[in-house]
Amino acid sequence: MLADQTVIARRTLRLVRALLKEAHSNPAVSPDRSSWPLVDIPELDSVGGVVQLKGAKGEPIVVARVGRSSYAAFRLGADPQEVEQVPMEYDEESRRLKLA
């Protein structure tokens, strides 16, 4: 269970961790930014989808769709074995994911 009470499937968390570790050796293809139009991220079309992006400072971020309109973002912690949740929100009006 995460701080905001979002429950993430263990399989999804394993995939998130693997993508974050891979991101350190293979940079993400997305441009650096702090928000993304959902229409540009087909990997998140359905619940369970996961995608690697880059945050505003170029840091690897992995986003998982965890509900109909719920998303969770993660990065590696100071200890590379730890995954930290990154504050993210979904703006339904503009259909954009935004890092807080």
Residue 1 lies in a domain: no
* pLDDT given for residue 26 in this prediction: 60
Residue 23 lies in a domain: yes
Residue 36 lies in a domain: yes
Residue 86 lies in a domain: yes
Q: For residues 71 and 95, what is the distance between their CA atoms, to the nearest angstrom?
A: 12
pLDDT tens string 65-96: 988 889 999 887 777 777 888 899 999 999 99
- Number of structural domains (the chain) is 1
Between 15 and 26, the higher pLDDT residue = 15
Q: What is the pTM of this model?
A: 0.74
Q: Kindly indicate the confidence band of residue 29, based on its pLDDT and cuts at 50, 70 and 90.
A: low
Between 4 and 57, the higher pLDDT residue = 57
- Under 8 Å between Cβ of 35 and 58: no
**Boundaries of domain holding 86:** 10-99
* CA neighbours closer than 13 Å in the CB half-sphere of residue 9: 12
